[in-house]
Amino acid sequence: MSNTQYLKPEVIRQIARLDLKAKFIVEGFISGLHQSPYHGFSVEFSEHRRYNSGDDLKDIDWNVLAKTDKLYIKKFQAETNLNCYLVVDTSASMRYGSGDHMNKLEYATCLAASIGYLMISQQDAVGLITFDERVRMYLPPRSKRSQLPNILGELARPSEAKKTDVPRVLMETAGLIRDRGLVILFSDLLGDVEPILSGLHRLRFGGHEVIVFHILDEAEAKFPFDGPTRFEDVESPEFVHADAASIREEYLRQIKDFVETYTTECFNAQIDYIQIDTSVPFDKALTSYLIKRKSRF
């Protein structure tokens, strides 16, 4: 199997250990970039050379990568003091999954683990916050390589399936984080939009850069249902019976409005917003992250 096969969620789902999932995703991502066509960007520094297999990931120039989709080693790379906080929604709604795909929590966990792997490889300090209706765990950022097993261990730890309270958690997070940094949120953002946006604005007002990965299940994004269907609320005992065909058009309109609201409001607040579903290969999500980060730093 080629490394790039590990960018597919359905392949990664078959791997049991989270550390191997993150390793294979990052190696597949790097392999795919290494093989991609050169887009004509002239390298700006004479201290650069092309990446070779076996080079240390911490020496990759991520700014050049974002512009060219090609890997270059910057021979004299200054260390960075960036603090990054991975903020992962582990609530009951994130456990929803359809078909053979990962559920939303599995996808978010793999994506967060992969970004953590990349950042620690380039000597950034990375921390972790997990939450449902409140913050459940806070791991302060560290740049040492020993931090990665700590992050992966916490992400892999089983948790109770509880309700979501994203606005409350964003306010708690703003209180936890004292130094300015990069906050990356992984959530389905289910809940009232305005309070969630207020929480995101609070982080921005605190001087933090914010990237939001809005993760939906493929079925939530595309609504493949047909005929009489029972729809259950995963965070309460409530359910409804409906003819899926008769509500599809209205459902898709509301999902479109939901995403467009976040797109517009986050743009206006200089918050980077990336909407993906659980069928999207991980390289697309990681490329979006790198491009967004390049635009900010």
**pLDDT tens readout for residues 95-144:** 998 877 799 999 999 999 999 998 888 788 999 999 999 999 999 999 88
User: What is the pTM for the complete model shown?
Assistant: 0.81
Least confident window among 31-40, 184-193, 260-269:
31-40
Return d(Cα 4, Cα 221) in angstroms, integer.
25
Residues in a beta bridge with 30:
none
Q: Is 16 left (phi over 0), alpha (psi -120 to 50) or beta?
A: alpha
Q: What pLDDT was estimated at residue 63?
A: 73
Q: What percent of the chain has pLDDT over 90?
A: 47
Return d(Cα 160, Cα 173) in angstroms, integer.
20
Give the closest residue to 127 by CA, choosing from 169, 181, 204.
181
Q: What angle do CA 207, 63, 108 make, to 5 degrees?
A: 65
The yes-or-no verdict on residue 294 having pLDDT over 90 is no
Q: What pLDDT was estimated at residue 2?
A: 56
What does the pLDDT look like over 67-100, one tens digit per residue? 777 777 765 444 445 799 999 999 999 999 887 7
What does the pLDDT look like over 183-241, one tens digit per residue? 999 999 998 999 999 999 999 999 999 999 999 999 999 988 888 888 877 777 788 88
Return d(Cα 101, Cα 8) in angstroms, integer.
10
Q: Can you list the alpha helix ranges (DSSP code H) found in the chain?
A: 9-12, 18-35, 62-68, 104-121, 147-156, 166-176, 193-205, 218-222, 244-268, 282-296
Return d(Cα 271, Cα 206) in angstroms, integer.
13
Q: What pLDDT was estimated at residue 160?
A: 81
Question: Which stretch of DSSP H or E encloses residue 87?
Answer: strand 83-89
Q: What angle do CA 14, 15, 16 make, to 5 degrees?
A: 115
Q: What angle do CA 235, 154, 90 make, to 5 degrees?
A: 15
Give all domains of the chain, ordered by start, each with its CATH number: 3-74 (no CATH), 83-296 (3.40.50.410)
**In sequence order, what DSSP letters do the residues of 219-278 get, joined into one string?**
HHHH----SEEEEE-TTSS-EEEEEHHHHHHHHHHHHHHHHHHHHHHHHHTT-EEEEEET
Q: What pLDDT was estimated at residue 86?
A: 97
Question: Confidence class of residue 43 from pLDDT cuts 50, 70 and 90?
Answer: very low
Q: What pLDDT was estimated at residue 74?
A: 67
Return d(Cα 130, Cα 93) in angstroms, integer.
14
Q: What pLDDT was estimated at residue 161?
A: 77
Three-state secondary-structure class, residue 108: helix
Which of 108 and 26 is assigned the larger pLDDT? 108
What does the pLDDT look like over 162-171, one tens digit per residue? 889 999 999 9
Q: Which residues contact 50 (CB under 8 A, 6 or more apart)?
A: 70, 71, 72, 73
Q: What pLDDT was estimated at residue 31?
A: 73
- For residue 7, what is the DSSP state? G
Q: What pLDDT was estimated at residue 45?
A: 35
Three-state secondary-structure class, residue 180: coil
pLDDT, mean over the chain: 84
